[in-house]
Amino acid sequence: MAGVVEWRAVGTGQLESDPGVYSFSCPLPEEVRALEADLNRNGVLRPLLCSATGQGGWRVLSGHRRLQWALAAGLAGIPVAVLEPCGLARLWDLLLADALDHRPLNPVEKGLYLRRRMGCSGESMADLEAAVLPLLEMPPRAAAADDVLWVSSLPPEVREGFADGTRPLHAARLLRGAAREDALAILGATAGLVGGINKFTEVVRLLLECSWRDGLPVRGWLGREGLDRVWQSLDEFRLEARRLRYPRLSRQEDTFSRVIDRAGLPPGGGIHAPRGFEGRRYQCRLSFSSLEELRRELKETLQCVDEGRLAGLEEFLE
C-alpha cells in the first residue's frame, strides 16, 4: 500500500487504540460475524495500520476489531503496517484508500468518514467535494453529503437500518428537515418494518404532516392515535397513517370498495376510481382472452347495473 514505510510485528501492549478518532467502520452484523470466524480460523493475516506515537508506542489507525480479538485471544504480538509521517489530510486519504481496497462503504460509514476527517483535519466540505466525494460514489458538490452526514449522526441502534439498506437514504432528506426527536420517533416506530423507498418515504411524510397538523410532537401523536404498537408490516402501518391523514378520503375509499365487492362483477372485471376521486370519471376494465369471454363479461357487468347492484356508486357520480 502506498504510504507504508515499514511492516513489522509489534507487541499488543505497545498499541494504543482509539476507534472514536480514526475509525469510520460501521459493519453489518453478518460482516462482524464473518470477520470473527475468519480470525478464529486463520488469525490476523491483514496488518493493522499504525503510526508512531513518538514515545516508543504505536497508534492504531485501522484494525481496531482485529486488535480487540488479538487481546482477547492473548496474543503477545500482531502484524502492523507503519504509515509514513504525513499531514492529516494525507493520512485520511490513506485510510480511505485502505478501506475501499476491501469493500465499498455503506452510507453510515461514508458519513462517519467525512465527519471525523473534517473534525480531525480542520478541512471543510468545500475542501473535499472535488477529490473525495467521487471516491465515495457521490456527486462532487458539498450538498451531496448532507444525507450521509445526517444518518451518521444518529444513535448506533437507529443508523444500522441505513447501513444495511432497510431504511432508504432518500428518506433522510425528509427526516433531517424535521426536529431530531420527531425523526427518531418515526425511525423507532417503523423499526423492523421493511419496504421500498416510495412506501417508507410516504410513511415519513404522512407522520410529519399529521403531527404538524395537530400541533403535537410525533411521539405524542403516535401514542394518542395508538400507532406506537408493534406492526406486522410497513403496508399495514402506512394504510393506517394514511387513514388518519386523510380521514374523509379514506371513508370514501372504504365505501367505494364495499360497493364494488358486493356488486359481484365478473372475475375479469373491475371498476376503478381516479386518484382522490377527482374529476368524477371512473373506469370499467375487463380482462378477457377471447371475444366470447368479452361478450360474457359485458353481459354480466350490464346485469349488475340493471339489477341495481352498483347503485351505491351514485353518490360518487353526483
Q: From CA 207, how far away is CA 218, in angstroms rounded?
A: 7
| pTM greater than 0.85 | no
Kindly list the domain boundaries of the chain, sorted by start residue.
Answer: 1-103, 104-154, 166-245, 261-317
Q: Do residues 176 and 114 make contact, with C-beta atoms less than 8 angstroms apart?
A: no
Q: Which of 161, 165, 150 is nearest to 192 (CA)?
A: 161
Average per-residue pLDDT for the chain: 88
Q: Which of 196, 185, 230 is nearest to 240 (CA)?
A: 230
Question: How sure is the predictor about 30, in pLDDT bands with cuts at 50, 70 and 90?
Answer: confident
Positions of E strands within the chain: 4-11, 15-17, 48-52, 58-62, 77-83, 269-272, 283-286
pLDDT digits (tens, 9 = 90+) for 195-250: 888 899 999 999 999 999 999 999 999 999 999 888 889 999 999 999 999 998 88
Q: Do residues 26 and 109 make contact, with C-beta atoms less than 8 angstroms apart?
A: yes
- In the numeric block, the cell 370499467 is attached to 284
Q: Which of 81, 23, 76, 75 is nearest to 52 (CA)?
A: 81
**Which range is least confidently modeled, 1-5, 102-106, 167-171, 257-261?**
1-5
Q: Which CATH architecture has domain 1-103?
A: Alpha-Beta Complex (3.90)
Q: Which backbone phi and psi does 166 adopt, to 5 degrees?
A: -75, -20
Q: From CA 50, how far away is CA 56, in angstroms rounded?
A: 13
